[in-house]
Structure 1
Amino acid sequence: MNGSELIFKGDSLLKKHLAEREKIRPRMLSSTQVNTMIIYDNIFCIKIFRKLDFVINSDLEISRFLTQQTDFRNTPKLEGSIEWKFENGNMVLGMMQEVVQSNSDGWTYMLDRMNDFNERVIALPDMPPVITALKGTLTSALLYDEMPAYLIELLDNMVANRVHTLGERTGELHLALASNRDLPDFAPSEYSLHYQRSLYSGLQALVRTAFNQLNANLNDLPEREKTAAKEVLGMKQEILQLFKTIYSKGIEVDKIRIHGDYNLEQVLFTGKDFYIVDFEGDPERRFSERRIKRSAIRDLASMIRSFNYVTYRSLFADNQIREEDIEKLLPFAEQWYHYVSGFFMKAYLNTVKDASFVPKEKDDLNTLLQVFLLEKALSELIYELNHRPEWVIVPLKGIIYMVKNNVELV
């Protein structure tokens, strides 16, 4: 195209590798609607973006910042980029990163562990009575040894340790993203009551959309999903009342750049550690919106919801589990979710300690967690109704659980 220029950038390691190799061995890793990924010599991975715009690409921007401006090393190092330069701006076509040697992603690892947990419960000769009163909360979580004795027998200590590590890495990521106050695009900025009111307006719109779509699809849902949907539809006022807490008082906390689409599929598991990937942000948002600073608690809520997905998917999508066993497993699975989420939060809060992006007042932290968890579940409900109706039971069960347990949850 006239007046434009393709710019290929690579660091010294990439250039050295090209100079020393006569042949480069490419291998297609994956191709989606969002990007195509190709591995070279099992050392470098190029991500070719399939959705382009004349805006700053948040994936490249954050990866470059973490690689060049911070000591955070639990994300693939940025090695190069491809940009199409025009007179009125640049368009990012792709980025090259190091390959992380991983066993699986976090979703696969945690789903396998949840399936192991279910098998242990089913194998019990006499199923113990479930202690329905949950101990600890997300912001005052228990240690592994403080769980009820029967859960210590069922929930592998290794799982608790892995989740603890993930909480630490998440905290370290947020500390890195908030570490440079001299760069306007990354410098933390304060919450305000005006901003909190605008959040509530958006939450009201989300409730309207979610409930309208749920009503419209109600008669098409299978009986189990329809029963759960009717229960959720009866919770509308409780949900709106909970959302009102977001602007009941000013919250002293900073907004920072965050991952924006943080879940178990966005972390690679090496067998010992986790690497955080894909900083493209929420695919449901416009490119420009993905770079907006937000509460770090949103990332936490998104990951905790991902634990919840693991919990319910293991029950309702596993053909190996008999229908009559689901009701027996459900109380145990919900306890697994509660305590695993607590391990994650405890490690995170211990890692970030007095960081400005975590409210100093515990009540404020509780408010943000409650609101963002429920917001995420409603967004998931809309997505599943539109794209994966067979998964709709997951956000429905999650919403019911949160509304019924909103006091104990945090």
Structure 2
Amino acid sequence: MTDRKAMLADARFYGAKSEPIDAVELIDSHPLRNGTLEILAVTHGGVTDLYQVVVDEDGEDILGTSGAVSYVQAIVEGAVGTLHGDAPVGHAARKVEGEQSNTSLVTGSVLVKAFRRLEPGLNPDVELLSEIGHCPNVAKVHGWVTREIEGEEYTLAMIQDLVLEGRDGWELALDYAARGESFAQEARLLGRATRHVHDALKLAFPTTTADLGVSLQRHAEELAARNGDVAGVVPQAHDLYAGLPEGEVQRIHGDLHLGQVLRTAEDYVLIDFEGEPARSLEHRRLADSPLRDVAGMIRSLDYAANFGEGAPEGWAEEATEAFLVGYGIERDAVLDAYILDKALYEVVYEADHRPEWVNIPLAAVARLMG
């Protein structure tokens, strides 16, 4: 399987680029009409992850290109796995472009999301969205696909409504920034949409209280074990987290940023409820503070201001304030702690996925720590 190493190392969906791939093992496969569905066990740094790919005869992944139609047809035929619910797919399929850890295919009036890195259990994207389909700020789930692999059940794909004419929130924010135009009005609307989703999740799933400071300290230690830059600031982060109060926790989006929202003609729709890719499925399914999502969007607004050219000074700060107004809260020490936590996570994520971007969160950490 040596030919799979290079393919994975170059793939956008592969999430451990900071470490060399030690081994790739084929543990499950199924022939499709065009290509072969493969489940690969990828070992790196003493850890083994499972990945879903569709490869051609040269070992290149084609799930998002020439293999898209075959994959969609295989879902209906039961070749990918067991279909739960419906799959009202079309006869054609095309990949949704953009920075994605998974691969989404437009087919007919629905979107088929193929999960790339697999973990046993029901994917949070399916778990959460299937319970809050009534919320106008999410896309309804029609069905999902599971497959038994080595005695455990994994979620391979999800089928949900296509958000018609929805524009990627990241691209929209970059356009505003490039024109030097205020994003405040959009951010306020986005804050309101985020609050609607949190309220729906709060009604659908149990809530409880937790020691927020202890939770953030544990997360910092987990991140420090994976990245030297984070390890160097953990003692100072612990000081900032110490003394934080208990707070209400619930199920949340878990990885909210501008690339996880779509702007329709009327409102914003939140997508991709899997949680942070660097966290285990077990941790992503835990209740957490809604402030984690709020902090994620604030960090994303900072990214938008720093990524392109044209954003005037104070652009991100103005948008942040408007987002908080739309959401209905004020900035305080607890929110600042979650913003730092998100920035530390971003350092690890960028080092693994997009090393050329890592200076953005590193600069944010430096600012947040004074």
Q: What is the TM-score with the length of structure 2 in the denominator? A: 0.70
Q: What stretches of structure 1 of length at least 5 have no aligned partner?
A: 118-154, 181-185, 216-232, 316-320, 322-328, 351-361, 405-410
Q: Tell me the CA shift for residue 33 of structure 1.
A: 8.0
1:7 to 82, 104, 110: 82
Match of 1:133 in 2: none
Q: How is 1:10-159 mapped onto 2 (pairs within 5 angstroms)? A: 10-11=85-86, 24-29=91-96, 34-41=101-108, 43-67=109-133, 71-84=134-147, 90-117=153-180, 155-156=181-182, 159=183
Match of 1:123 in 2: none
Query: Does the 8 Å CA contact 2:104/2:114 hold for their aligned counterparts?
Result: yes
Q: Tell me the CA shift for residue 187 of structure 1.
A: 0.1
RMSD between aligned residues: 3.1
Q: Judge which range, 385-394 or 53-62, deviates more.
A: 385-394
Query: Does the 8 Å CA contact 2:276/2:284 hold for their aligned counterparts?
Result: yes
Greater radius of gyration (CA): 1
1:377 aligns to 2:343 (yes or no) = yes
Q: Tell me the CA shift for residue 199 of structure 1.
A: 3.0
Q: Judge which range, 86-95 or 279-288, deviates more.
A: 86-95
Q: Deviations over 1:175-202 (max 9, x none)?
A: 111113xxxxx2001113xx63353244
Query: Does the 8 Å CA contact 2:224/2:230 hold for their aligned counterparts?
Result: no
1:311 to 288, 305, 309: 305
Change (3 A) 1:263 1:33: closer
Q: Tell me the CA shift for residue 52 of structure 1.
A: 2.5
Q: Write the letter of the residue equivalent to 1:10.
A: G
Change (3 A) 1:34 1:387: closer
Q: How is 1:4-403 mapped onto 2 (pairs within 5 angstroms)? A: 6-11=81-86, 24-29=91-96, 34-41=101-108, 43-67=109-133, 71-84=134-147, 90-117=153-180, 155-156=181-182, 159-180=183-204, 186-192=205-211, 196-203=213-220, 206=223, 210=227, 212-213=228-229, 236=233, 240-241=235-236, 243-248=238-243, 250-251=245-246, 253-315=247-309, 332-333=312-313, 335-349=314-328, 366-403=332-369
Change (3 A) 1:371 1:249: closer
Secondary structure in structure 1 of the residue aligned to 2:179: helix
Q: Tell me the CA shift for residue 373 of structure 1.
A: 0.8
Q: Tell me the CA shift for residue 30 of structure 1.
A: 5.1
Q: Deviations over 1:120-139 (max 9, x none)?
A: xxxxxxxxxxxxxxxxxxxx
If asked which structure has higher relative contact order (CA below 8 Å, sep 6+), I would say 1
Query: Does the 8 Å CA contact 2:220/2:344 hold for their aligned counterparts?
Result: no
Q: Tell me the CA shift for residue 308 of structure 1.
A: 0.4
Q: What stretches of structure 2 of length at least 5 have no aligned partner?
A: 1-27, 29-77
Aligned residues: 293
Q: Write the letter of the residue equivalent to 2:324.
A: M
Q: Deviations over 1:279-325 (max 9, x none)?
A: 1111101122210111110111111000000111114xxxxx7xxxx
Q: 1: CA distance between counterparts of 2:335 and 2:124?
A: 25
Q: Deviations over 1:339-373 (max 9, x none)?
A: 110000111016xxxxxxxxxxx7xx722211111
Secondary structure in structure 2 of the residue aligned to 1:285: coil
| Higher helix content, 1 or 2 | 1
Q: What is the TM-score with the length of structure 1 in the denominator? A: 0.63
Q: 2: CA distance between counterparts of 1:295 and 1:46?
A: 29
Change (3 A) 1:395 1:198: closer
Q: Deviations over 1:196-255 (max 9, x none)?
A: 335324435646765x3489xxxxxxxxxxxxxxxxx7xx5xx7456434331533x211
| Higher strand content, 1 or 2 | 2
Change (3 A) 1:33 1:309: closer
Query: Does the 8 Å CA contact 2:192/2:326 hold for their aligned counterparts?
Result: yes
Give aligned-pair identity as a percent.
29
Match of 1:229 in 2: none
Secondary structure in structure 1 of the residue aligned to 2:332: helix
Change (3 A) 1:402 1:284: same
Secondary structure in structure 2 of the residue aligned to 1:275: strand
Q: Tell me the CA shift for residue 393 of structure 1.
A: 2.8
Change (3 A) 1:31 1:106: closer
Q: Tell me the CA shift for residue 86 of structure 1.
A: 8.1
